[in-house]
Amino acid sequence: MSAQAEVMVSPTSTKSRNPLFIGIAVTGFAGLPAASVLYILSVYNTMITPIVMVIASAAAMGVIIGLIARFTLPRREAAIRWLVALFGLSIGMTFLGWLSSGSLGLDLIDRSTPEPDLLGLIRFVGSAAVAWVAIRAWGEKSSAGSRPRSRVRKGAKARGASLKVKKPRSTKQRGRRKWTKVRLKTKVEHRCPYCLEAVKTRDPRGVVKCSTCKTLHHADCWGMTGTCQVPHHNS
């Protein structure tokens, strides 16, 4: 019987992908307590001006809803998170506008004038921009660098078959030593100790060998000094 085995490597994911409706429900519900907290802070505020409070409440709503959409949908695309955050912002900003009678948030309930709430729309757009920054900030680690997980898929005839892994052959063999012959080839180069140029065996300038140290000299160099230029002969 023949057996076949195929090894497939797939990266492990450290985060699970939550259902989309859970992120929508949590983000939409989170707008209500966030609006309530921001309204209470505006009521008991005695330190900052009303215009700064309006800007701060819109920015804080964007940060809160953006982070909630980000962490409740960890494996979703940024565009989907932002759309969910817009849903939560529409609920939170509308509830905040109803609590503050239109001074904060988006005034869509119990309006005294039929004109559109332009200021509320500007606050909503600013809050949506802050939510986008909260979703995209602090880049997440990709799962490409996670440790791979090996998965073995066996063929139809692979009953009881095991996957054999061949080990690389060792370059060292026990009990045997392979000797390598090394041959050294040497080439002697003679140089005249007077002119320091090479002296060939059949040099056209002539060759004179010292009888004591066997050093080769050019004949014309030897003729200029009349003696060996190696210090042992002069001492």
pTM value is 0.49
Tokens of 228: 């060996």
**What band does 170 get if pLDDT is binned at 50, 70 and 90?**
low
DSSP per-residue letters across 28-70: HHHHHHHHHHHHHHHHT--SS-HHHHHHHHHHHHHHHHHHHHH
pLDDT digits (tens, 9 = 90+) for 188-209: 788 888 888 888 878 888 888 8
pLDDT at residue number 13: 46
- Sequence spans of domains, the chain: 20-139, 188-235
Amino acid symbol at 133: V
Tokens of 213: 């140290």
pLDDT digits (tens, 9 = 90+) for 113-147: 667 777 878 888 888 898 898 888 876 554 444 45
Q: Are 145 and 14 in contact (CB under 8 A)?
A: no
Q: What would you report as the CA-atom Rg of the chain, rounded to the nearest whole angstrom?
A: 45
Confidence check: pLDDT of 185 > 50:
yes
Cα of first residue to Cα of last residue in the chain, in angstroms, is: 92
Side-chain half-sphere exposure of 169, counting CA atoms within 13 A: 2
The pLDDT of 46-52, averaged and rounded, is 84
